[in-house]
Amino acid sequence: MKRRIKAYLPFTINELKRQMAYKGAFYLFILVKMFGAFINYYLWMAIYGSTNQNTLGGLTQGEMVIYIFMAYLTGTIVTVSVSNWVSEDVVQGTVAMNLIKPIDYRMSLISRASGDMIYQFLVPSVFIWIGLEIYRAAVPGLPPFSAEKVLFYLVSTVLSFLIYVLFDFCFGMIAFFTTYIFGLMMVKQALIAFLTGQLIPISFFPEAVQRVFDFLPFSSMVYTPVMIYLGKYTGNKLFFMLLRQAAWVVLLYLFGSLIWRKVTKRLVILGG
């Protein structure tokens, strides 16, 4: 097993190096995304300002601020577009070069995605997080900093990452049948922003819709870790949520293996 990890480690490190090589694009990307988060922020502030209720969807105004930025941050760390890489590999035919090596294609993608995740976490996310912690300390009425919550948040985020990547791998498999999945990827992104709670906290949806979401993996991708961070889940509920995330990891892993086996049976390598 140790040797297997050693074989995949280079993919992680390589991706880290690659990210550092394209710094300009990366910071621009952060800026654009931050812009979105701030629009979201002002929108919610206006909503809170125009109502005389203290809490909306179970969140106070202060909690909502944390929610918005934490959801943005978690979304950035977690949503590494593996399907994009798969589609690139399919279009350029480089998938063949991966298949001649004694490695698992999915594992190599996950390792590569880990590099991306680590970089996103280290470079923009940590700073935003520190900013949020200062905000939390400055605004009265918010729960105090808790190392335990942060720890659970981190565990939950890693699970979220795995859920997203495994899901996106399955999604990327479509590229083997249709070659181009750009359009579908746009649809997926819009749906993900909505269903994971990045746009609107899931607690705002009607009860019936929330029941449906319970049976989909998406709420486990962003909503769960953010709620853990906010301290909305405690005790048994917290464990149940983590367990549900773990169950999704296993389920999507098995599903991915199944699809991969089907795909390799009818693989067509483009370009000779």
Partner 1 sequence: MIEVSHVTKDFVMPKKYPGLRGAIKGLFSNEKTVKRAVDDISFQIGQGEIVGYIGSNGAGKSTTIKIMTGILSPSDGTCFVAGIDPNRRRKENAQNIGVVFGQRTQLWWDLPLSESFTILKEIYNVSDQAYREQMEFLNQVLELSAFFDKPVRTLSLGQRMRADLGAALLHNPKVLYLDEPTIGLDLVVKDNIRRAIREINEKYKTTVVLTTHDIGDIEELCSRIIIIDEGKKIYDGSLEALKDTYGTKRTLSLEVKQIQKASGFSPAEILGVREEECITELDFENSLLKITFDGHKLQAPQILSTVMNEIEITDIQLKETELAEIVKEIYRHGTEGE
Token pair 């009425």 is found at 141
- Closest C-alpha among 81, 45, 48, 59 to residue 204: 59
User: CB 92 → partner 1: shortest distance, Å?
Assistant: 9
User: CB 266 → partner 1: shortest distance, Å?
Assistant: 8
* C-alpha triplet 234, 48, 230: angle, nearest 5°: 15
User: CB 214 → partner 1: shortest distance, Å?
Assistant: 37
Of the listed pieces 10-18, 78-86, 119-127, 234-242, which binds partner 1 according to CB under 8 A?
10-18
User: CB 263 → partner 1: shortest distance, Å?
Assistant: 11
Tokens representing residue 103 in the block = 């490695």
Question: From residue 246 to residue 265, what is the string marking binding to partner 1 with x (rule CB under 8 A)?
Answer: ------------------xx
User: CB 108 → partner 1: shortest distance, Å?
Assistant: 9
Contact status: 23 vs partner 1 (CB under 8 A)? no
CA–CA dist 117, 15 (Å, integer):
10
Of 140, 144, 206, 272, which lies in the binding site for partner 1, with binding defined by CB under 8 A? 272
For strands 55-56 and 59-60, give the pairing. Answer: antiparallel
Q: Which residues pair with 59 in a beta bridge?
A: 56
Query: By CB under 8 A, what part of segment 92-121 binds partner 1?
Result: 93-94, 96-97, 99-104
Contact 267, 175 (CB under 8 A): no
Contact status: 18 vs partner 1 (CB under 8 A)? yes
From residue 232, alpha-carbon distances to 4, 15, 146 in Å are 38, 35, 13
Contact 253, 243 (CB under 8 A): no
Kindly list the residues in this chain that would bind partner 1 in the complex (CB under 8 A). 3, 6-7, 9-10, 14, 17-18, 21, 93-94, 96-97, 99-104, 264-269, 271-272
